Amino acid sequence: MPKRKTRPASRQRTYRVVWEIDVDATSPKKAAMQARKCQEPGTTATIFDVYNEYGKCTRVDLGVVD
């Protein structure tokens, strides 16, 4: 039986994964906090890009203490 060629191990690459959810809130930070509650416990994802109804983006990092 002929030997099957094996592919070399793939080089690991970095990917940006975007998770989106619509929430109602009174501020970008509160919207990020609501989104955080929807995640699995123990997740390390703490940075949220929050867009208002006009498309303005506010980046909120819940891992940073105000």
CA–CA separation, 28 vs 40, rounded Å? 21
Residues 38, 34, 50, CA angle at the centre, nearest 5°? 110
Looking up tokens 């039986």 gives 1
Q: Residue 31 carries which DSSP code?
A: H
CA–CA separation, 38 vs 31, rounded Å? 11
pLDDT at position 26, please?
95
pLDDT at position 63, please?
83
What are the structural domain ranges in the chain?
Answer: 28-61
pLDDT for 4-32, tens place per residue? 767 667 788 777 767 788 899 999 999 98
Identity (one letter) of the amino acid at 33?
M
Its pTM stands at 0.60
pLDDT at position 2, please?
66
pLDDT at position 41, please?
85
